[in-house]
Structure 1
Amino acid sequence: MSPDSVRLLNGSSLCSGRLEVKSNQSWSSVCEADFDQQDAEVVCRELGCGPPSVLQGALYGEVEAPVWSKEFQCGGHESALLDCRSSGSARNSCSPGKAVGLTCSEPYDIRLEGGASRCDGRLEIKHLGEWRPVDGSDWILNEAAVFCKHLNCSSVVSVEVRDNSFYNQTWFLNQGCVRSRSDLRACAASGFTYSILLLTCSAKQHTAGP
């Protein structure tokens, strides 16, 4: 599925605006009645933003035709809105003021340092105002993929643990929490370790098109 299947228009950034969904090369507005908080969590994650902070109709302009005809039924854990189940509500119009307006929090303070590109290097998180590397113990590709997505990179290429000769002040991340929470910083606990996580993601390929 293309990562370019949702967008937020007329907002102040990539992370806010009136929601539109792309299908068959055309964009559709989404009716507020067919969209809820769990759906919003998926959209914010798909866009590489933080969790939703405001979900309200008509914040970013009125409905524009065409209107998406199905009700989204996301569990909140999906990585893309079009991966969610949907029911055919056969809606072809939407009352004025009822188009979904969504504000996600801004992207996380997450970076990959010291690598060959912005999608490669030592994983660091800014939490409680402080940048620290992430403890490298027990990481698997599924959890690391969450960070590639938040960094607006593509799939995981490799996960590596580097053991240093000196003790690092790090963030320990609960992997189960990383899989289930939209706010990754809520998964972080302070600690010291010799091992840090190196992550390489593939960069997204930008292709021309509508």
Structure 2
Amino acid sequence: MCVCCCGSTDSVRLVHGSSLCSGRLEVRSNQSWSSVCEEDLDLNDAQVVCRELGCGAPGLLQGGLYGEGEAPVWTSELQCEGNESAVLDCRRSSSAGKTCSPGPAAGLTCSDPGGVRLVGQPSRCAGTLEIQHQGQWRPVVDPFKDWDLKSGSAVCQHLDCGSVVSVDSTDDSTDRPVWRVSVPCVKLTSGPRDCVELADYYKHSSGVVVVCSDLLPQPNISLSDGVFEVYRQGFRVLVGSDFTVTCSVRPQYPGGSFRLISDTEKPLNLTLTAVNHSAHFLLSSMGYAHRGNYTCVYHVDVYNRSFSSSQSPALYLTVRDLVTHLIIRVVVVHFLLIMGTISLFFYCRVSSLLYSAH
């Protein structure tokens, strides 16, 4: 039986583990699941996998612990930086025809998320506080308005969601089972689930809404137009050509804007409004002043506050000079013609000698 950690993602899963957050790692690509080689999984990759699955920090990385890979081997190697929100946001390199021999398929154990979650909002780092206790998920009640920024900070830290931004109460007029939590205990222990005092039914009870700073996923950056070619860890753009850098983010909140930053000779700091969760920055006449790293930052106003994402992975651009490129091509063509002529000469000479011998 396959056990998929948290069942909350269509791109990555852990199978054949003893809990929801452990098992052999498989990645979904082209509508099918593939195993990952143990040698291709490092701590940064594991952090992103555990985060995407809603689990805690990665613990044990061990191949073969959860059986040999039954699925085909994934032909790409993850190159996560560790702060991405999902595996699909990570860079990857292709290794067509790769096998895991002699190493086994990657196994991963993430720590228990601790039975604490924020629900009801697009981000896992904002929403109504719920705690799992005695096998049941219930919202936390705040009848005396005791919850403040310090207790909310313990929740954000527990969820690896940065620092607390706000803690508010929400009124709910329905009868429902809830958990009551000792706020002084939360402030001291930073383990909200260990501070449950009482389970009961409350009418017109007040819930707890927590908003943490790491609300937004890391944006993506790509080169979408222009005459370019892959060059080492980036792209080489033809000098004089126009090119477009695209910033995008997984759909979460509507609106917002993207900022494009560069460490080039003439640094860029451009802002465009997000349309369909992306923005396209058209840059004209590629020149040597454009060489350098480009990154995107996503901004959005929600909960009456402004939030900014972490920077995207860096996109490195360099220049391909047209004259130099043409000279290299001419040299290569002439070299091939000379080598072809020499080969033909020796072929004809050998054929002539063989014919004379007969």
TM-score category, normalised to shorter length:
0.5 to 0.7
Q: TM-score, normalised by structure 1?
A: 0.58
Counterpart AA for 1:121: T
Aligned Cα root-mean-square deviation (Å): 4.1
Q: 1:6 Cα shift?
A: 0.7
The verdict on how the C-alpha distance between 1:136 and 1:197 changes in structure 2, with shifts beyond 3 A counting, is farther
Which runs of structure 1 show a deviation greater than 6 angstroms over 4 or more consecutive aligned residues? 123-126
The structure with the larger Rg is 2
Q: Please name the residue that 1:35 is paired with.
A: 41
> What is the identity, as a one-letter code, of the residue corresponding to 2:76?
K
- Paired amino acid for 2:30: N
Instruction: State the alpha-carbon separation in 2 of the partners of residues 197 and 148 from structure 1.
Output: 18
- Distance in structure 2 (CA, Å) of the matches to 1:69 and 1:103: 23
Structure 2 stretches lacking a partner, 5+ long = 1-7, 120-125, 134-139, 171-182, 192-206, 212-358
Aligned counterpart in structure 1 of residue 148 of structure 2, from 135, 145, 150: 135
Q: Is the 8 A contact 1:9 1:20 kept in 2?
A: yes
State yes or no: 1:72 paired with 2:85. no
Q: Could you tell me the percent identity over the aligned residues?
A: 54
CA distance in 1, matches of 2:40, 2:118: 37
Mapping 1:93-108, distance limit 5 Å: 93-108=99-114
Letter of the 1:135 partner, please give it. D
The 1:125/1:77 distance shift into structure 2, 3 A limit, reads: farther
Q: Quote the residue 2:20 is aligned against.
A: 14
- Secondary structure of the 1:44 match is helix
State TM-score, norm by structure 2: 0.36
User: Which residue among 197, 209, 225 is the counterpart of 1:198?
Assistant: 209
What are the Cα deviations for residues 25-46 of structure 1, in whole angstroms up to 9, with x where unaligned? 1000001121101101111111
Equivalent residues of 1:22, 1:28 under 8 A apart: yes
Question: Greater helix percent: which structure?
Answer: 2
Tell me if the contact between 2:118 and 2:130 (Cα under 8 Å) persists in the aligned partners: yes
Structure 1 residues 148 and 199 mapped into 2: Cα distance closer, same or farther (>3 Å)?
A: farther
Between the aligned partners of 1:64 and 1:123, the Cα distance in structure 2 is 37
For the pair 1:110 / 2:120, whether they are aligned, the reply is: no
Aligned partners of 1:7, 1:33: CA distance in 2, in Å? 18
Aligned to 2:184: 169
In structure 2, what residue type is equivalent to 1:22? R
Q: Secondary structure at the match of 2:62?
A: strand
Deviations 1:74-124 (A, max 9, x none): 1111111111111123343211542101111112231469xxxxx963467
CA contact (8 A) 1:70 1:88 kept: yes
The letter of the residue matching 1:94 is C
Instruction: Return the offset for 1:17.
Output: 0.7
